[in-house]
Amino acid sequence: MISPGPNLRTLREKLGLTSGDVETATERLARKHNNEDYLITAGRLSDIETKGVIPSVHRLYSLAIIYRREFGEMLSWYGVDLNQTASDLEEFVPPRTHFSHALPNTAKIEKPIRIDPDFDPRTTLNFAPMIRQWGAVPVAYLQQLSKKDYSYGYIGSEDLTMHPILPPGSFIQVDESRNKVLKGGWRSEYERPIYFVETREGYTCSWCTTSREELILLPHPLSPALPTVLPAQETEVIGQVIGVAMRVGELQKEENNAEDHENRQ
C-alpha cells in the first residue's frame, strides 16, 4: 500500500521543489481562487510528508496541480478510489428514480479487449471465462465514441412502475433524441417503448400515451402502481430507454418490496 506522505515528498524532490517553492505555488492558487484553503505552508507540508497528516481536499488538489498528478490518483493514496464508484453505488439505493451523474466521473473502467474466438453470442453462457484479457480504458475515450444525446438514469428503490421489466435498482441508458411518444407499431410489451419522464414529483420510467393536452403514464400490468394522467405542460419526456443494467437473482426480494408498497397504498 502507498504511504502518502513519503510518496508526496518523493514527488516533490523529483521535481526539484523545496517546501518553500510549494508554499509559494499554493499562495498563487489561493489568490487565483480567492480561497486560503488552497494554501500549504512549509510547516504544514512537513506535517503531511512526515507525520501522516491528511491534507484537506483543497490542499490535496494544490499538490496534484503542483506535482502534475491526476487528482483521482492522489485521492486513491488516501483510500478513496474513484474507480470503485460503480460498485459502491450498489450499497445504497435512493427511493426516487433520478438522473445518475456518478458513473461518468470515474477515471477508468475495465473492458474486455480480447475475447475467446470460440465465443458464440447466440447462446446463453457465463461471459467472464470467455474474456482472455481485460484492459483499463479512460471514460473520456468512451464518451467520444458514444452519442452525445445519451443520458443515464437509475430506478429508485420505491419506483415499481415498470416492475418486473425494470426492477428497482436498475441503471438505464436513455436516448434523448427519441423523446416523442409513439402511438403504436410494437408487437409485444417487450417492444413497446419505455420512456424516461420528468414530472413535478421527480423522474420515473413508464409506457406512455397521449390524449389531447395530457400525458398518460402507464405502468406494467404486474406493477402495484396505477396509471397517472398529467397535464402535458407539467411533464417532460426526456427520452426512450434503450439499455438497462440490472441485478438478477433477487426477484423474491423485489416481489416482497412490491407487496409492501401495495400494502401501504
The fold adopted by the segment(s) 150-264 is Umud Fragment, subunit A (2.10.109)
For CATH 1.10.260.40, the residue range(s) in the chain are 4-77
Whole-number Å distance between alpha carbons of 26 and 9: 16
What does the pLDDT read at residue 116? Answer: 58
What does the pLDDT read at residue 130? Answer: 47
Taking only the tens place, the pLDDT of each residue in 130-161 is 444 445 445 444 444 454 568 888 888 889 99
- Please indicate whether residue 146 or residue 17 has the higher confidence score (pLDDT): 17
E strands present in the chain: 98-99, 108-115, 131-138, 150-154, 171-175, 195-199, 202-211, 214-218, 228-231, 236-245
The fold adopted by the segment(s) 4-77 is 434 Repressor (Amino-terminal Domain) (1.10.260)
For CATH 2.10.109.10, the residue range(s) in the chain are 150-264
